[in-house]
Chain A
Amino acid sequence: MNNDVINAAVAVIGVPAVLVGYILLTERLIQALPERRQGRLRPWFWIAPALLFLIVFLIYPTLNTLVLSFMDAQSRNFVGLDNYAWFIQDRGTLEALRNSVLWVVFMTGGVVGLGLLIAVLVDRIRYEPVAKSVIFLPLAISFVAAGVIWSFMYQYQDPSRPQVGTLNALIGLVGLGPIRWTQEQPINNFALIFIGIWMWTGFAMVILSAGLKGISTEVLEAARVDGANEWQVFRRIILPLLLPTMFVVSTTIIITALKSFDIIFTVTNGGFGTNVIALEMWKQMFTPPGNFGRASAVAIVLLLAIIPFMAINIRRFREQEAIR
C-alpha cells in the first residue's frame, strides 16, 4: 500500500518533470543547429510524446484488432470471414445489434429532445442556474453509480408485498403494476435507455442553452412585437438557428449510445434480452474459454458503425477551421 502511494507520487511529480526535462534538453540540442532547421525540427519533438501514446494505445491496437478479427479464438490461424459470418448468423449478436440500434435511436432522441425542451424552458425562469445544475448533475457520476441508483427506482416486489421501488410504488397509487422493469421485454430495454437519457440530457442542455443565449434578443423581441406567439418564435426562429448545434450534439450522443456498456453491465449484465454490441464484445472476450477472434469482429462492427459519424465530425471540424 505504502509502496503504491510512493509510486503514484513519483508518477505525479516525476512524469511532468521528465517531460519538461525532455523539452528543455531537446531545445538545447536544437539550438546547436542552424537557424532554418531549428524551426523544422522543434515541433516534432513537441508532439512526439503525444503521438507515441496515440500510436501505442489507439492506432496500433485498432489495426491489430482488425487483423485479429480474421483469426481464430486463440489468434493462431487465419479463418477468413468466419467471425463475421458468425456475427450475422448468431441470434444473440443480432439481438445485441437490434438493442444497440434502439439505444442509438431512443437515447439520442430523448437526450436531444429533452435537452432542447429544458434549455428553452429554463431560459424563461429566474431559477435557471439551479434548474440547470439539477439536470446536469448526473453527468458527474459514474455509469455504475447510476445503475445502482436506478436499480432502486426499478425495484420489483411480489404484488402481495408493499412496493419499495419508487416507480412501482408510484404506478401502484393509480392501481397499475407492479412491473418487472428490468426483466419484462421490451420494457426493460427502454428502462435501461432512460438511465442513459437521465445521465446525458444535461450535456445536451448545456450546449443547446449556450447556443440559445447566442441568439440575439432583438430578433426574438422583434418577432414577438410583430405578433408571433411563443410557439411560432420557437418553431420559426429558435429551432432553425439551433439546428446545427443539435446536429453536433446528436453525433456525440449517437457515439455514446453505441459505446454504452456500463449501465447494462451493472443492471442486467445483458440478461433478459438487453445485450448490446459493446457488452457482447466483452462477453466473447472473457466468458471462458474466450474467443478473441469473435470479440475482435464485434469490436470492428462497432467501429464500422461509428466511422460515418467520425467522418461527419472531421468534416464539421474542417468547416469550422475554414471560418476561423
Chain B
Amino acid sequence: MTVVTKPLETTRATAVEKGGRGWSRIVLHAVVIGLMLLWLVPTLGLFVNSFRPAADVARSGWWNALFPPWDFTLDNYSRVIAANNLGDSFINSLLITIPATVIPVMVAAFAAYAFAWMNFPFRNAIFVAIVGLLVIPLQSTLIPVLRLLAGAGIAGEFLAVWLAHTGYGLPFAVYLLRNYMGGLPREVFESAAIDGASPTTAFFRLALPMSVPVLASLTIFQFLFVWNDLLVSLIYIGPTNPDNLPMTVRVASLVSSLGGETHFLTAAAFLTMILPLVVFLFLQRYFVRGITGGAVKG
C-alpha cells in the first residue's frame, strides 16, 4: 500500500509543479500554510499557557511567553494533579477505557466472522439492521439504560460503563470487521474446511491473524471513543459515584467551577489530551485506514 502510493504522490506533485505558474504556487502554499496555522495555533496556545504562571496567563496573551524573558513553570500541572484529584481520574479513565475497548472488539470479532463466512437465515437482514443502529443517538437510550443499570445495582460502577460502551461500540465494530473479514480470500477458508478444520480453528488460526490490521484500527477507534467520551460516564457514573469519574467529566466540571482560575484548566485539558495524542501520532496509519475502510473501497 505505502510502497505504491509514495512514488505516485511525488510524480503527481512534480507534474503539477511543472505546469503551475509561479504566482499560483505561492498562493497555494500560502493557503495551505495558513490553514495549518489556523489548525495548530489553538492547541499551541493552550500548550504554552499551561506552562505559564497564573498571573501571566491572566495579564497577557500566550504569544508573549515566546519572547524573553522566559518564565515557564510546572506549577499548574502539580497543582491540578494534587488539588483536583486529576491523578485519580486519569487512572479512572484508564480503568474505564481498557476493558471497554477489549470487550467489544472481542464480541464483535465472533459476530463479524459469522456474518462474513457462515450461512444462516436472515443473515443479511440482521446485518443491515446493525448497520442501521450505527446512527442511533446515545441520547435516545440514556433513561432506560440508566434505569436498567440502577436496577441491577451497578450504576456508578466501572462495570456499568464497560457494558454500555460495549453496546454502543458494537454496531461500528461489527460493521468494520465484517467488511474486512468478508474480503479475505475464500479459497483459504474452503481449503481449511476440506482439510477438516472446524470453524473455531479457522477463526482462531486464519481469520483472526489475517485481520490484525483492521483489529488494530478498531482498537484505536474504540479506545479514542471511550477515552474522549463525556456523556456516558457523566450519566451512568456521575450522579451515583463521583469517585469513579474519568478525566473528561472532571475537566468539564472544572470549566464551570473554576471561573477565574483558568490557568489550571490549561494543564487539566492537556493532561486529558496526552494519551490520545500519543496514540494518534504513533498509530495514525491505522486510524486513517479505519476511517477510509468504512467509506472508500480499496
**Chain B residues with CB below 8 A from A142, complex form:** 227-230, 248, 272-273, 276
Determine if B43 is an interface residue (Cβ-Cβ < 8 Å).
yes
B110 in the interface, Cβ–Cβ < 8 Å?
A: yes
CB distance from A193 to the nearest CB of B (A): 15
Q: Are A123 and B296 in contact (CB under 8 A)?
A: no
Any chain B CB within 8 A of the CB of A87?
no
One of B111, B141, B162, B203 near A49 (C-beta < 8 A): B111
Q: Are A60 and B144 in contact (CB under 8 A)?
A: yes
Once bound together, how far apart are the Cα atoms of A230 and B21, in whole Å? 11
CB of A112 within 8 Å of the partner chain: no
Binds B, one of A35-43, A78-86, A91-99, A101-109: A35-43
- Interface residue from B166, B230, B298 paired with A262 (Cβ < 8 Å): B230
Query: Contacts A4-B158, A60-B144, A299-B139 given: A144-B133 contact, CB under 8 Å?
Result: no
A183 at the interface (CB under 8 A from B): no
Chain A: CB-nearest residue to B138:
A259
With A121-B31, A131-B32 in contact, do A259 and B137 touch (Cβ < 8 Å)?
A: yes
Interface string of A59-93 (1 = CB under 8 A from B): 11110110010000000000000000000000000
| Chain B residues close to A by CB (< 8 Å) | 5, 8-13, 15-17, 19-20, 24, 28-29, 31-32, 35-36, 39-43, 45-46, 49, 57-63, 88, 91-92, 94-95, 98-99, 102-104, 106-108, 110-111, 113-115, 118-120, 123-124, 126, 128, 130-145, 148, 158-159, 162-164, 166-168, 170-171, 174, 182, 198-200, 203, 224, 227-231, 235, 239, 244, 248, 251-252, 255-256, 262, 265-266, 268-270, 272-273, 276-277, 279-281, 284, 287-288, 291-292, 295-298
- Name A residues whose Cβ lies closer than 8 Å to a Cβ of B: 1, 4-5, 7-8, 11-12, 15-16, 19, 23-24, 27, 31, 39-40, 42-44, 46-47, 49-51, 53-54, 56-62, 64-65, 68, 114, 118, 121-126, 128, 131, 133-145, 147-153, 162-166, 169, 198, 201, 203, 206-207, 210-211, 213-214, 217, 221, 224, 230, 245, 248-249, 252, 255, 258-259, 261-262, 265-267, 269, 278, 281-282, 285-286, 292, 295-296, 298-300, 302-303, 306, 309-310, 313-314, 317-318, 320-321, 324
Besides A1-B91, A54-B170, A152-B266, 7 new A-B residue pairs in contact (Cβ under 8 A), listed by A number:
A16-B102, A47-B115, A125-B32, A147-B255, A166-B45, A298-B139, A313-B134
